[in-house]
Amino acid sequence: MKGYTWRISLILLFIIASFVYLTPTLVDTLPSWWSGLLPKDKIHLGLDLQGGTHLVMGVETEKAVEGSLDLVATDLEDSLTQQNLRYKSIARVGNDKVQLVLYDRGSADAAQALIKKKYPDMQIQPATDEAGFIAMQVRINEKEAQVRKDRAVAQALETIRNRIDQFGVSEPVIQREGLTNIVVQLPGIKDPKRAIDLIGKTARLEFKLVDETVNAATATASSIPMDDELLYEKRADATTGAVSETPIVVKKKAIITGDLLTDAQIRIDSQYNQPYVAIDFNSTGARLFDQVTAANVGKRFAIVLDNNVYSAPVIRERISGGSAQISGSFTEKEAADLAIVLRAGSLPAPVKILQNVTVGPSLGKDSIHKGLMAGLIGVLLVVGFMAVYYKLCGMVANFGMVLNILFLMGALSALGATLTLPGIAAIVLLVGMSVDSNVLIFERIREELRLGKTPHAALDAGYDKAFLTIMDSHVTALITAAVLFQFGTGPVKGFAVSLSLGIIINLFTSLVSTKVIFDAYLERAHVKRLSI
């Protein structure tokens, strides 16, 4: 008895733990005393079983190239200023060029040498005389533009993945489709609108100088200079909820973008008790922020998020250290969401939702019903076969199969894994593997009995000889499941998770659980002939 006491205790412990974790799934209303550390979450169901949201999002990759050229223009301004080279203007032209207008040919030659050194991949077009100035254009080549577009989609994919992780969706599907699209599936989300807003929010943060020479109150889109744009600062009244819009004319070119952010945290203003978002820049952003604030003391610059002005403060002094804050008339929850999207990473380019489909749970219920029926019929056929062919030993194998399913469902619940249709397929596969393992063991036991060994000796020899075969098959299957989990997505991962857990559990039930039942039975019943 001492030899298998710990094994029986372990099996009982797993059975109790499985029922405890499955209770929220099996019971509609938990009793009042069910609290504290006791689990309260049901088994998570995938999009194919419980419904959810399916999104196809398109990344506007051209904007990513334009954003990088804006940074190049800002950097060239700083570099030319540092070298005391006189220029009239530096700005992006179109979606693939930066134009420099200089006062003299000597400055143009020096600027050309500087660009060749700093941006060797850029194509410099010949300088031309224009109304007494020297105009020169720098163009990004197609190969580099395509690299930046691909990088923008990859970055957008990671950004969306980070946001969804922070939102708390279990096992979402996030994958690239084609050159510019991203597919997102969110199973079972309770607040799809908030999730879509959070994911789809571009969170493209830009710092732009305010053009104070233009009267914003009377300005229209057609009356402002070509390098300006008309934006609005929205403010909501805390008591009435009324939203007012204040027009602000800003320079089109962004002097700093959210790509240079490293952190964003919500803070509370101690003076006005208002929430704001504190942001930190990386070294490049900190340098640019320092230079821009030093060169524009006394001027206003607008903090623009997705073409909405959050604030437009006056630069009182040079700001070093790479920190700033975004204040506005938002609530604490809005500030928290803003901090999430900025911290998770601003999108390198805007994304637009091309397809938004909400999948209802009715399809899932039908799938669950058919899947359960198929599984139940399969299990009953296997149980009948094992009982007839292997008699009493077959019933022990059937008990092990039931334990397999119980332990697997309990483990899925305990780990918070998601059950999908492929996951149900993995459970059916597990039933087959469980039977296969027991058939291997029983056939070895039969061989030992035919050699004249006692039931106990034949049992030990059968398990020993089948051990390596079972272990080999399970380890190779586990490796396959690991590969599927590593490179698969969504339902494939769900299949891999169920299969991996099932393989480990099946090893335990096949080699430990059924063996301990046989050991206890043979020791207590003093069996002279094994029913197999």
With b meaning 16 or more CB within 10 Å and e meaning fewer, what string describes 274-285? bbbbebbbeeeb
Count of domains in the chain? Answer: 3
353 shares a domain with 365: no
483 shares a domain with 456: yes
- What is the enclosing helix (H) or strand (E) of 464? helix 455-487
223 shares a domain with 350: yes
**Model confidence, pTM:** 0.55
Residue 191 covered by a domain: no
Residue 188 covered by a domain: no
336 shares a domain with 376: no
Q: In the listed set 144, 168, 186, which residue is the last one of a domain according to the structure?
A: 144
Greatest distance between any 2 Cα atoms in the chain = 112
Residue 178 covered by a domain: no
503 shares a domain with 391: yes
Residue 242 covered by a domain: yes
- Spatial separation of the C-alpha atoms in residues 327 and 300, rounded to whole Å: 15
Q: In the listed set 322, 357, 392, which residue is the last one of a domain according to the structure?
A: 357
Q: In the listed set 357, 388, 417, which residue is the last one of a domain according to the structure?
A: 357
82 shares a domain with 124: yes
378 shares a domain with 488: yes
Residue 456 covered by a domain: yes
69 shares a domain with 120: yes
Q: Three-state SS across 391-427?
A: HHHHHHHHHHHHHHHHHHHHHHHHHCCEECHHHHHHH
Q: What is the pLDDT along the chain (532 residues), one digit of tens a residue?
A: 556 788 888 899 999 999 999 998 888 888 888 877 788 888 877 777 777 788 888 998 888 888 888 888 888 888 888 888 888 888 888 888 898 898 888 888 888 888 888 888 888 888 888 778 888 899 988 888 898 889 889 888 888 888 887 776 766 778 888 888 998 888 777 677 777 777 777 667 788 889 888 888 888 878 888 788 899 887 766 666 677 788 999 988 788 877 788 888 888 887 777 888 888 888 888 888 888 888 888 888 888 877 888 788 888 788 888 888 877 666 777 777 777 777 776 677 888 888 887 776 655 567 667 777 877 888 888 888 888 888 888 888 888 888 988 998 898 888 877 777 788 888 888 888 888 888 889 898 888 888 888 888 888 888 888 888 888 888 998 998 888 888 776 667 778 888 888 899 988 888 888 888 888 887 777 777 777 7
Q: Which residues contact 54 (CB under 8 A, 6 or more apart)?
A: 47, 183, 184, 185, 355, 356, 357, 358, 359
Q: Which residues contact 5 (CB under 8 A, 6 or more apart)?
A: none
**Which residues form the domain of 17?**
3-30+38-50+361-525
Residue 149 covered by a domain: no
Cα 505 from chain centroid? 29
318 shares a domain with 210: yes
Of 287, 259, 227, the closest CA to residue 159 belongs to: 259
What CATH number is given to the structural domain containing 113?
3.30.1360
Helix (H, G, I), strand (E, B) or coil at 303: strand
369 shares a domain with 299: no
316 shares a domain with 240: yes
What CATH number is given to the structural domain containing 326?
3.30.1360.200
- Spatial separation of the C-alpha atoms in residues 176 and 156, rounded to whole Å: 10
What CATH number is given to the structural domain containing 487?
1.20.1640.10
Residue 532 covered by a domain: no
Helix (H, G, I), strand (E, B) or coil at 486: helix
Q: Which residues contact 450 (CB under 8 A, 6 or more apart)?
A: none
Residue 371 covered by a domain: yes
511 shares a domain with 365: yes
The angle that helices 455-487 and 491-508 make with each other, rounded to 10 degrees, is 160
Contact by Cβ (8 Å): 40, 24: yes
Of 144, 146, 128, the closest CA to residue 136 belongs to: 128
Q: Tokens representing 50?
A: 């419980």
- Spatial separation of the C-alpha atoms in residues 153 and 175, rounded to whole Å: 11
- DSSP code of residue 511: I
